Amino acid sequence: MSSSVRKAVIPAAGLGTRFLPATKAVPKEMLPLVDKPSIQYVVEEAVSVGITDILIITGRAKRNVEDHFDRSVELEELLRQGGKEEELNAMRAIAGLARIHFIRQGQPLGLGHAVGMAADHVGDEPFAVLLPDDVCHPSSGILAGMLVAHEQTGSTVLGLKQVDRREVSLYGCVAFEPAGDSLVEVHDLVEKPAPDEAPSDLGVMGRYVLTPAVFAAIAATRPGRGGEIQLTDAIKGLLRQEKVFGYTFRDGRFDVGNKLDFLKATVTFALERDDLGPDFRAFLEQVVGAG
């Protein structure tokens, strides 16, 4: 697809405390969904819509993420000598997915701060932000739909999904009015509201297409809860300068920072594999039948 959005930012500096003890020594983004780390799915999603310049914001103990997207000459030579051409080609393909750059967020100062660190790299152009805890199924078309919405409006576009009222306190929620098929115009945002204070049940998911004006909005945003600069607060400030839209979707997104969703994603991707799907499905049917 053709889009003015050429760059993506993936903030990956979080500690992954919801998956301790597994994430004590392994970055949460490197936890595998079947046999591929979750962050690779996110990078491949960006590449699938034509974005090939990607900045990953990392933190301490995230060197494994950088190594994963780099060449491993020793491993490649070992595979070559063993005649494992399929595995060799797969390893080389990872390093060739995109132009991937890295920068460290030295302190956990919030998602808004992490995105703000991308200002020099992004420059004066729109860009996508993909949170690595959100893995979208390749068939979902969520990011592609958001890019189309951005081209139509020339504005910031947020990925929005209807959530259970009891869960709105986990998300930023929007006040809105309909603006077309799958599109709403956002009038206000509230970060993690109480259920009875939420402006709607549309929650902001981990996909954004942002205009470069967001960087000035981030710079003007004061730290909020926990001393962190919230991206939601910055976008709320952006509303005073330009329109913000939301692209609504229903299916295809897994919150792999949540244990149950992580398992759902693993099962979904495993069942779709030609080499695993039939036997794994038979096993699941056996387990369910025995229950």
Q: Are 212 and 186 in contact (CB under 8 A)?
A: no
Per-residue confidence (pLDDT) for residue 291, from 0 to 100 = 66
Answer whether residue 1 shows pLDDT above 70: no
Per-residue confidence (pLDDT) for residue 233, from 0 to 100 = 92
Answer whether residue 162 shows pLDDT above 80: yes
**Token pair of 267, please?**
């099962």
Looking at residue 12, the DSSP 8-state letter turns out to be: -
Per-residue confidence (pLDDT) for residue 231, from 0 to 100 = 94
Answer whether residue 255 shows pLDDT above 70: yes
Per-residue confidence (pLDDT) for residue 2, from 0 to 100 = 63
If you average pLDDT over residues 127-143, what whole number do you get? 96
**Which residues, at least 6 apart from 130, have a Cβ–Cβ distance to it below 8 Å?**
8, 9, 10, 42, 45, 46, 143, 206, 207
HSE-CB for 216 with a 13 A CA cutoff:
9
Per-residue confidence (pLDDT) for residue 14, from 0 to 100 = 84
Q: Are 13 and 117 in contact (CB under 8 A)?
A: no
If you average pLDDT over residues 24-29, what whole number do you get? 91
Report CA Rg, the chain: 20
Beta strands in 127-196 (DSSP E): 127-130, 134-136, 156-162, 172-180, 183-191
pTM: 0.94
Answer whether residue 208 shows pLDDT above 90: yes
pLDDT digits (tens, 9 = 90+) for 96-120: 999 999 999 988 899 999 999 999 9
The Cα 143–Cα 24 span in angstroms is 31
Answer whether residue 3 shows pLDDT above 90: no
pLDDT digits (tens, 9 = 90+) for 52-91: 999 999 988 889 999 999 999 999 999 999 999 999 999 9
Answer whether residue 133 shows pLDDT above 80: yes
Per-residue confidence (pLDDT) for residue 165, from 0 to 100 = 85
CA dihedral 101, 102, 108, 114 (to 10 degrees): -20
- What share of the chain has pLDDT > 90, as a percent? 80
**Which residues, at least 6 apart from 119, have a Cβ–Cβ distance to it below 8 Å?**
215
Least Cα distance to 132 among 63, 46, 5, 72 occurs for 46
The Cα 259–Cα 236 span in angstroms is 30
- What share of the chain has pLDDT > 70, as a percent? 99
Residue 255 has φ and ψ, to the nearest 5°, of -90, 90
First to last CA, the chain: 46
If you average pLDDT over residues 37-41, what whole number do you get? 97
The Cα 203–Cα 161 span in angstroms is 5
Q: What is the 3 state secondary structure string of 91-110?
A: HHHHHCCCEEEEEECCCCCC
pLDDT bracket for residue 259 (50, 70, 90): very high
Per-residue confidence (pLDDT) for residue 159, from 0 to 100 = 97
The rounded mean pLDDT for the chain is: 93
Per-residue confidence (pLDDT) for residue 46, from 0 to 100 = 97
Looking at residue 59, the DSSP 8-state letter turns out to be: -
Answer whether residue 168 shows pLDDT above 60: yes
Of 3.20.10.10, 3.90.550.10, 3.40.50.1220, 3.40.190.10, the CATH number of 7-257 is 3.90.550.10
**Which residues, at least 6 apart from 213, have a Cβ–Cβ distance to it below 8 Å?**
238, 241, 242
